[in-house]
Amino acid sequence: FRKKNQKENEDTNLRPSTSSHVTTYYRQLLSSDRKQQVSFVRLTEEDVQRLASIRPLFAKHVERIVNVFYNQIGQIPNLRRIIDNHSTLDRLKQTLRAYLMDMVSGEIGEQYIIRRKVIGNVHNRIGLFPEWYLGAYTIIQNEVLHILMEELPPTEATNIYRSFAKLCSFDMQIAIE
């Protein structure tokens, strides 16, 4: 396996996903034991496609989302302590950036689920209670909503936000189970 370099990553972020690519991954979801959860949050292939279509916009603003996120988290002393005990803000910003770009990759399939499961386990191991983990999504969702409203016409912003909220729910469900 070869690690993608920074430049390649940037290029991939700017390229829109083709719909056949999205379909291949989405089919994995429907044939997995997560099928019920996918239909429970009504995460459709169109949602995944819609999210993939805003990848360049996300790439442009991901830094801002990540900064707002850790500024807010860092203000809560017990969360700050967990961060300092286990990692550094720089490292965590890097992993959250990758996490967010994964949501708009169009590659929501079997491996995506495994990645979410691992993230859930990591937070469990560091003793972060689910109420904090779940609450933290509000910070991300608020910032994403701001960005979408700034950048897109209201109807498009609303549709994308709805798709994003569904995928957040799906991710949360996998992480905390």
By the criterion CB under 6 A, which residues form the site for ligand HEM?
73, 79, 82-83, 86-87, 92, 95-96, 99, 118-119, 122-123, 126, 128, 132-133, 136-137, 140
Q: Shortest distance, CB of residue 66 to ligand HEM, whole angstroms?
A: 10
Q: Torsion over CA of 132, 103, 41 and 28, rounded to 10 degrees?
A: -130
Q: Which is nearer to ligand HEM, 57 or 128 (CB)?
A: 128
In the bound state with ligand HEM, the residue whose beta carbon lies nearer, of 38 and 136, is 136
Geometric angle at alpha carbon 64, from 26 and 19, rounded to 5° = 20
Measured CA to CA in angstroms, residue 11 lies from 21, 55, 56, 98, 106 at distances of 17, 11, 10, 14, 15
Query: How many C-beta atoms lie closer than 10 Å to residue 134's C-beta?
Result: 14
Q: Is the dihedral of CA 102, 14, 22, 140 positive or negative?
A: positive
In the bound state with ligand HEM, the residue whose beta carbon lies nearer, of 19 and 87, is 87
Instruction: Report in angstroms how near the CB of residue 172 gets to ligand HEM at its nearest.
Output: 8
Whole-number minimum distance, CB 98 to ligand HEM, in Å? 7
Q: How far is the CB of 38 from ligand HEM (least distance, A)?
A: 19
Provide, rounded to whole angstroms, the least separation between the CB of residue 131 and ligand HEM: 10
Rounded to an integer, what distance in angstroms lies between the CA atom of residue 168 and that of residue 148?
Answer: 16
Residue closer to ligand HEM by CB (options 48, 144) is 144
Is 140 or 157 the residue whose CB approaches ligand HEM more closely?
A: 140
Let me know: does 92 contact 126? Beta carbons within 8 Å. no
